[in-house]
Amino acid sequence: MDAYLPKDMTSKDPKAPGEYRYAGEELHRQWKRLHRGDCEPWPDGQRIAALARQAGFADLVAARGGTAAVAEGLQEAWRQFHAGDFVAAVDLGDGLGAPGASVANKAVAVRALYPPRSDPQQLHKMLTAAIARGEGAVAQLSDYPNAHYMLALVLGRYSQRLSILKALAQGLAGRVRTHLERTLKLEPHHAEAHVAFGLYHAEIVGQLGALAARLTYGASAEAALGHFRRAAQLAPASAIVHIEHARGLLRLDAERYREQAQSLYQRAAACEPRDAMEDLDVGHARRGLPDRG
Whether the CB-CB separation of 266 and 246 falls below 8 Å is answered with no
Determine the residue type at 91.
D
Per-residue pLDDT tens for 93-114? 999 999 999 999 999 999 998 8
In this structure, which amino acid lies at residue 95? G
Q: pLDDT (tens digit, 9 = 90+) per residue, 44-71?
A: 999 998 888 877 777 777 878 888 999 9
Q: How far is CA 59 from the centre of its chain?
A: 29
Whether 27 and 79 have beta carbons less than 8 Å apart is answered as yes
**Is 2-286 assigned to CATH 1.25.40.10?**
yes
pTM to 2 decimal places: 0.89
Dist CA 267 CA 250 (whole Å): 16
Nearest-Å Rg of the Cα atoms of the chain is 18
Distance CA 202, CA 228 (A): 10
pLDDT band at 201 (very low <50, low <70, confident <90, very high): very high
Q: In angstroms, rounded to a whole number, what is the distance separating the alpha carbons of residues 154 and 213? A: 22
- 276 vs 278: CA distance, rounded Å: 5
- Using 50, 70 and 90 to split pLDDT, how confident is the model at 128? very high
Does the pLDDT value for residue 118 go beyond 90?
no
Three-state SS string over 189-221 comes to: CCHHHHHHHHHHHHHHHHHHCHHHHHHHHCCCH
